């Protein structure tokens, strides 16, 4: 539900607050640019960069959700901003300035209709994590340690003010300089608004958490915390507290002796299984949303952003997998067109030559995944007539690959899913060709044949996996 339209006086006050807060940071940025034009090699630039970056990050924190989101987007653009700005703005991912605990207490007591001391046995005033819209505190309820996530006070009202102001400034800018970039700004604001209302619905997030917990219950080495319904509202989500280190804390994981290669493969298998087998997946895999426990168990956090793949898309992927395993490359091409990955105007003959060459790469580079990736890039360059596209149903899936590679780069710079995540992909793919989509899939015997053809021993690495696969085959 969109917030009520804010009154004009509040708009003017908010506009003045934004300009007042941003001016010192922007003034430092302008000084830095002027100094760089006059003396580009001057050592003073580093000091100006550090001050300007810190002021800009602090201004985003004080201004709230939209400005924090914009800072987060800029913080991943190491190709666009100098290192000091990237380092400061990255702190906005999970280290935003916390709300004063007086407001926290008042907000929670309004939600629960009782004093905080009655709602929880104990409540830690120091937050575990802070973000653009939410803040998380550790507490104790019914003898159990819990994590309490709630919507930061006045977030919706401030969002309504900022959206109206930024859209007004965008319209003004379009009149002054009518360029396409203003339409892009409007699109960004629309995306921020829709994403905010999705992520701030904690009742929906609770449903996501419970569904994913049930869905992933049988996957070894992966854990989803349980929710505490008695302390959940549309603005508050209370879950089991799980200890562990952030997945980006490489030093701690290595001190515990965690096998990081196995961990990364588990992460790849987790996401491949969620998307291919169930079509329902956690769509926000940034480093702050994973904990790792000393035994290597991967704990999934933050369920505000979840997406589904349609049954039709998963059936097309399954058909493509069966066709590839059976050597029916023409059927593979059919599936590429059907899924939307190949534009209809792409020449059929060239598409078939591409798929044949692609299949040969898998044999030619059987034990050289990096060589296969390089050859694949060259293959795309040699078929300029093919127009590949990302179907809307798979848009988040492709975005996920980039985010997972960002998480993995903390352990192994340059890591990529295809070249380095082979074991995880193999395990997920074996389950996929065995279980298939929920309707219209092949017979159990054909699935078993597909799995054997793919490489049963490589895909099902443990006796438990093999027994589980056999049990599912016999049950169908």
Place of tokens 């709602």: 119
The DSSP symbol for 452 reads H
Beta partners for residue 388, in sequence order: 342
CA distance 293 to 244: 4
- Closest CA relative to residue 476, chosen from 430, 426, 442: 442
Chain-centre distance for alpha carbon 249: 18
CB 164 within 8 A of CB 2: no
CA distance 281 to 456: 25
Helical spans, DSSP H, in 248-366:
250-256, 260-273, 311-326, 329-339, 348-364
What lies within 8 Å, CB to CB, of 334 at 6+ separation is: 323
Long-range contacts of 447-456 (CB under 8 A, 24+ apart): 447/473, 447/476, 448/473, 450/321, 450/322, 450/325, 450/326, 453/325, 453/326, 454/325, 454/426, 454/429, 454/430, 455/426, 455/430, 456/430
Give the other-Cβ count within 10 Å of 374's Cβ: 13
Complete DSSP assignment for 111-156: HHTS-HHHH-SEEEEEEEEE-SSEEEEEEEETTEEEEEEEEPTTHH
The CA–CA distances, whole Å, from 146 to 115, 231, 423 equal 18, 10, 34
What lies within 8 Å, CB to CB, of 53 at 6+ separation is: 82, 84, 85, 87, 88, 89
The CA–CA distances, whole Å, from 55 to 17, 59, 96, 295 equal 15, 6, 14, 41
CA distance 330 to 342: 14
CA distance 54 to 48: 10
Write out the two tokens for 259: 């096998």
The DSSP symbol for 285 reads -
* 3-state secondary structure at position 342: strand
Pairing of strands 222-223, 298-300: parallel
- Closest CA relative to residue 439, chosen from 289, 314, 290: 314
Give catalytic residue positions. Answer: 284
**The sheet that has 298-300: what strands, in order across it?**
222-223, 298-300, 290-292, 245-246
């Amino acid at each position: 539900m969109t917030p009520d339209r804010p009154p004009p006086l509040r708009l003017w006050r908010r506009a003045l607050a934004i300009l007042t807060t941003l001016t010192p940071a922007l003034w430092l940025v302008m000084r830095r640019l002027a100094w760089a034009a006059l003396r580009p090699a001057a050592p003073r630039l580093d000091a100006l960069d550090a001050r300007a970056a810190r002021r800009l990050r602090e201004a985003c924190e004080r201004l709230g959700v939209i400005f924090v989101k914009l800072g987060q987007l800029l913080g991943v653009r190491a190709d666009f901003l100098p290192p000091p700005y990237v380092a400061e703005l990255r702190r906005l991912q999970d280290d935003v300035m916390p709300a004063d605990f007086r407001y926290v207490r008042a907000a929670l007591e309004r939600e629960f209709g009782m004093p905080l001391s009655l709602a929880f046995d104990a409540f830690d005033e120091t937050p575990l994590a802070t973000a653009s819209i939410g803040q998380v505190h550790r507490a104790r309820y019914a003898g159990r340690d819990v994590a309490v996530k709630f919507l930061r006070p006045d977030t919706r009202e401030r969002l309504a003010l900022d959206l109206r102001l930024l859209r007004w400034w965008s319209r003004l800018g379009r009149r002054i300089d009518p360029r396409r970039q203003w339409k892009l700004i409007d699109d960004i604001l629309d995306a921020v608004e829709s994403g905010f209302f999705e992520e701030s619905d904690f009742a929906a997030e609770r449903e996501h958490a419970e569904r994913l917990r049930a869905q992933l219950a049988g996957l070894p080495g992966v854990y989803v915390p349980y929710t505490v319904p008695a302390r959940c509202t549309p603005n508050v989500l209370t879950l089991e507290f799980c200890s562990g280190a952030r997945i980006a804390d490489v030093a701690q994981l290595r001190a515990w002796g965690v096998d990081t290669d196995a961990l990364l493969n588990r992460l790849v298998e987790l996401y491949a299984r969620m998307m291919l087998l169930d079509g329902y997946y956690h769509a926000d895999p940034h480093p702050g949303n994973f904990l790792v426990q000393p035994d290597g168990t991967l704990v999934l956090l933050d369920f505000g952003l979840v997406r589904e793949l349609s049954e039709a898309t998963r059936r097309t992927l399954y058909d493509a997998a069966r066709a590839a395993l059976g050597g029916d490359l023409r059927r593979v091409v059919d599936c590429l067109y059907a899924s939307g990955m190949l534009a209809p105007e792409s020449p059929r003959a060239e598409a078939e030559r591409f798929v044949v060459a692609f299949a040969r790469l898998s044999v030619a580079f059987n034990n050289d995944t990096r060589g296969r990736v390089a050859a694949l890039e060259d293959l795309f360059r040699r078929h300029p007539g093919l127009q590949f596209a990302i179907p809307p149903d798979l848009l988040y899936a492709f975005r996920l690959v980039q985010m997972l590679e960002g998480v993995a780069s903390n352990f192994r710079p340059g890591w990529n899913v295809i070249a380095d995540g082979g074991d995880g992909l193999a395990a997920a793919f074996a389950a996929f060709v065995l279980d298939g989509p929920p309707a219209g899939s092949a017979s159990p015997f054909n699935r078993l044949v597909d799995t054997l053809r793919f490489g049963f021993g490589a895909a099902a690495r443990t006796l438990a996996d093999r027994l589980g696969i056999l049990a599912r085959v016999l049950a169908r």
